[in-house]
Structure 1
Amino acid sequence: MWPWGHAAVGYLLYTAYRRSRFDLRPHGVAVVALAVGTQLPDLIDKPLAWQFAVLPNGRSFGHSLLIAAALLVALWLVARRFDARESVAAFGIGYIGHLFGDALYPALAGEFHYVGFLGWPLIPAIEYELATGGFLDHLFALDLGPLALFELGLTVVAAALWYRHELPGLGVLVPGYGESTPEERPE
């Protein structure tokens, strides 16, 4: 899955979580934590595998459910102390959503060997046929087939929903851009 697909899936999952649990829309710092969570596995694995050859491939350490569990438990313990549980929940939804987003296509194709990254290091690293190279090399090799179009469609839906929610999280990143009041509004 591509970065925009991960962001879209994460935002849609987090919106569903907030709506079902609190009857509220996404808001503030938690949306920024969500965005980081949707991208972090690739920000860890891709450079360390493609550029520095420290990891066996672009889906290993950061894409492991074992590593994710340890990270999320540690973050949850810290969040309890600083009353940041909602941000950690958002981050976790984004992070876990990323892992299962990457596992979705091979699972649908019945190529279960390629979801082994979820169990790394207990399951040995997968040998991919992809050539090494940076992000741009992979971007230029993008096949605009049905799966890529599906991701773009999800991205359009998520972006429209984010806009409808009045661009939550943007005020955290852009000084002077305020989110609507009251701070927590039902859908």
Structure 2
Amino acid sequence: MQPVVHLVVGYICYAAYARWRLDGPPADAPALAAIGGAALPDLIDQSLAAAGITGVTRTIGHSLLFVVPLVAVVWLYTRARDRELLGVAFAIGILSHIATDMPWHVLAGDYDELGFLLWPITPMPEYSGVKELGTVAGVEITTLWLEAVIFVAGIALWWQDGRPGLEAVWQFVRG
């Protein structure tokens, strides 16, 4: 999945949680925590690959051996500071990232590319990229088509929710 789509999926998942548990759209801080959590695996792994430390872009940041303990630490930290909702939002964001990196490999039969789930115990081959899902009326349909639909739907939901987090980001940028 494209990195920007992970951010949108993290938001969609947290927005669903907020409506289910909190009876409304997300507040600013938890929305940003969910989006930040969704961004973290790619920020870690793509940085490591760009620096030449790893040879692939899905290693520690995508490994459940790192992610699960990280979620526990963040949740315990936020709970101790009476900000548990931020820990929940972060967990939803990062776990949505890991979960949405799996289906394309399963659908394409590229099971070896799921090695990131338990890296470094299991090897992670180079990511093979966009997956073909089929052909409709002579047009090749790829995972990018589905990701585009998810992206647009997520942005529409975020907009409808009042763009939570945007004002906080603008205030930070302005200083």
TM-score for both structures, normalised by structure 1: 0.80
Q: Secondary structure at the match of 2:102?
A: helix
Tell me the equivalent position of 1:172. Answer: 168
**Equivalent residue runs for 1:22-171 within 5 Å:** 22-49=22-49, 51-128=50-127, 145-171=141-167
Unpaired stretches in structure 2, ≥5 consecutive residues: 130-139
Unaligned runs of 5+ in 1: 131-143, 177-187
Amino acid at match of 1:70: P
Superposed structure 1 runs of 4+ greater than 3 Å apart = 127-130
Residue 128 of structure 1: CA displacement? 4.2
How many equivalent residue pairs?
162
Deviations 1:87-136 (A, max 9, x none): 11111111111111111100122222111111112212324457xxxxxx
> How much does 1:145 deviate?
4.4
Q: Counterpart of 1:44 in structure 2: which amino acid?
A: I
Percent of aligned positions that are identical: 36
**Does the CA contact (< 8 Å) of 2:113 and 2:124 recur in 1?**
no
Q: Partners in 2 of 1:160 and 1:91 — Cα distance?
A: 21
- In structure 2, C-alpha distance between the alignment counterparts of 1:125 and 1:3, rounded to whole Å: 18
Structure 1 residue 56 displacement after superposition: 3.6
- How far has the Cα of 1:63 moved from its partner? 0.3
User: What letter matches 2:5 in structure 1?
Assistant: G
More strand by share: 2
State the TM-score, normalizing by the size of structure 2: 0.85
Q: CA RMSD in A?
A: 1.8
Q: How far is the alpha carbon of 1:48 from its aligned partner?
A: 0.7
Contact 1:4/1:151 (CA < 8 Å) preserved in 2?
A: no
Q: For the Cα contact (< 8 Å) 2:10–2:38, is it kept in 1?
A: yes
**Which of the pair has the greater relative contact order for Cα pairs under 8 Å at 6+ separation?**
1
